[in-house]
A and B are shown apart, each in its own frame.
Chain A
Amino acid sequence: MELSDLIEKIAAGEASALLSLYDASSSVLFGLILRITGDRFASEEELVEVYKLIESRAARCDPKEVSAAGWILSTARDCAVERRRQMRRDSPKPDRIETAPTPSSESQSQSTPGPFADARKRALAAIESLPPEQRVAVELAYYAGMSPGEIAAQIGQPRAAIKTRIRLGMIKLAEQLK
């Protein structure tokens, strides 16, 4: 069943569809949350919260505006970034630079759950095509939820340069993912 159908069923109050969505997407969402928080225990707690949030907000997912996969990934990302910020507030320490090697499109396409396989292939190809400085800026903003000012302080570059890198990187990604 398509992810959008599952979201629609969840929005209609069919609770068991949430479990089907979990089976179809949990490894993708858990991998994303784990990379953002960097903490396994926190990620486990957050994953359950994400599915509860998806259930409560399913009616807001408009397939005309955004893909179902994109919507659940954004929901998970927002929760995980918020958790990461909370963890940093509770225990302040220097932020890690989130430039963990991104899996290559070939290596990931085989293990990725069906509904995400094609989209992942394209996303990996797109991010791999970015110049390194744009990729670092976009990844720090996405995975660490850092503002341009924070990124500038982290990598020792002017804030204006970081904003430009993010803009150019996002434009290029948008063109590749069109």
Chain B
Amino acid sequence: MKHERSTGEVQETAALCALGCLSQHDARAFKNHLEEGCTVCSAELRRFEGVVGSLGLTASDAEPPVYLRELVAAHVEHGTRDAVQRAAGEAEKMPPKRAPARVRSPLSAWSRVLSWAVALACAVLAAYSYYSWKQSEQSVQDRTAELVASRSDAEQLSKMLELERGRSRELEHLNAILERPGARVLLLTGQEPSSPASVAIFWDVARRRWVVTGRLPQAGPGTEYKLWYVTKTGRYGAGMLQQDVQGHVFTILEAPESGTEVSQTVITLEPTGGSAQPTWPVIASSGK
């Protein structure tokens, strides 16, 4: 059904279509409607397409890196060479015009030589174009590979930088604790001689904080490390430990109340979410 005049609904559909924001179903239905020849909708769509064309100018300019122009220039060069190559190829395919065998004037003999010379020149030109094109293609591939490698390096460096920043923040925490009066350090080592587990608890007595840092074997799927402490009155869970992908542990937990005598600290592997009592193996502990 064609519209006789523009309505709010027509304007809405046309505006969303121009912005490319209609669902696939609605866009198809609107396209079919336009193909039926609705001039009202066509005019509205054209009006809003003009707006969409201008909206891009509301973004700020940004200068692209120089190498992008070189890539476009290389693309342009390929296009030109391809055209020459195609022309040369077509010239080669053309059947040679033979002069009648009976009459061989000096001019036709000269023409024959000339056509062979042209064909030969075209063949040489085509070979040279192909060689140059391959060279440029290789050059573009090399640049692309360099670009990919540079990006990979940049990402790697970015990750390392983030890691170093994290370590730096950790050290600031530890230094702040050690500078406070009454600070203590509890050391936990692995249960087996070959275990890489080595954890230290920096006890900020004044602020009742435990900063736990060190290295533990990577916890398997569905498991997490939990820190426990033992006093005269019992065994208590201090909290779950956060571990990064490299096995490094850094977690800030609430410490026992001031004056509590902690006789032992233990780290166990627990199911994700923890448990009220240690259920899985002891991975590291401080001496009794």
| Contact, CB under 8 Å: B23 / A147 | yes
B interface: dominant SS: helix
Whether B97 is near chain A, meaning CB under 8 Å from some CB there, is: no
- B218 on the A face (CB < 8 A): no
- Residue in A15, A30, A146, A163 whose CB lies within 8 Å of B64: A30
User: Inside 8 A of A114's CB, which chain B residues have their CB?
Assistant: none
Residues of A within 8 A of B57 (CB): 28, 69, 73, 112, 116, 119-120, 123-124
Residue of B nearest to A120 (CB): B57
Categorize the interface residue count of chain A.
35 or more
Interface status of B76 (Cβ within 8 A of chain A):
yes
Contact of A28 among B16, B19, B61, B69 (CB under 8 A): B61
B70 → chain A closest CB, angstroms: 10
B155 to chain A, nearest CB (A): 10
Q: Which residues of A contact B59 (CB under 8 A)?
A: 31-32, 34-36, 102, 143
Is B35 on the interface with A (CB-CB < 8 A)? no
Determine if B79 is an interface residue (Cβ-Cβ < 8 Å).
yes
| Chain B interface, number of residues (Cβ within 8 angstroms) | 42
B55 touches A127 (CB 8 A): yes
Structural contact, A51 and B72, CB atoms closer than 8 A:
yes
Q: Out of A29, A74, A167, which one reaches B52, CB within 8 Å?
A: A74
For A70, the chain B residues whose CB sits under 8 A away are 49-50, 52-54
Give 1 or 0 for each of A131-172: 1 = CB within 8 Å of chain B CB: 000000011011101111000000000000001101100110
- Complex formed: what's the CA distance from A122 to B58 in Å? 9
Check if A66 is an interface residue, CB within 8 A of chain B: yes
Q: How far is the CB of A164 from chain B (nearest CB, A)?
A: 8
Residues of B within 8 A of A15 (CB): 76, 79-80, 83
* B20 x A78 contact (CB < 8 A): yes
**Quick check: A166 and B63 within 8 Å, CB to CB?**
no
Indicate whether B164 reaches chain A with its CB closer than 8 angstroms.
no
Nearest-Cβ distance from residue A55 to partner chain B, whole angstroms: 8
Could you tell me if B76 and A19 are in contact, using CB atoms closer than 8 angstroms? yes
Given A15-B79, A30-B64, answer yes or no on A48-B72 (Cβ-Cβ < 8 Å).
yes
Query: Which of A52, A103, A123 is the one whose CB lies under 8 Å from B60?
Result: A103
Give the residues in chain A near B54, CB-CB below 8 Å: 70, 73, 119, 122-123, 126, 173, 177
Q: Is the beta-carbon distance between A13 and B83 smaller than 8 angstroms? A: yes
Q: Could you tell me if B21 and A145 are in contact, using CB atoms closer than 8 angstroms?
A: yes
Can you list 25 A-B pairs, Cβ within 8 angstroms, ordered by A? A13-B83, A15-B76, A15-B79, A16-B80, A19-B76, A26-B68, A27-B63, A29-B56, A30-B68, A31-B61, A48-B71, A69-B53, A70-B50, A74-B56, A77-B55, A102-B58, A102-B59, A111-B61, A124-B57, A166-B15, A166-B19, A167-B8, A170-B15, A174-B48, A174-B50
Chain A to chain B: the 6 pairs with minimum beta-carbon distance, closest first: A70-B53, A73-B56, A31-B62, A15-B79, A170-B15, A120-B57
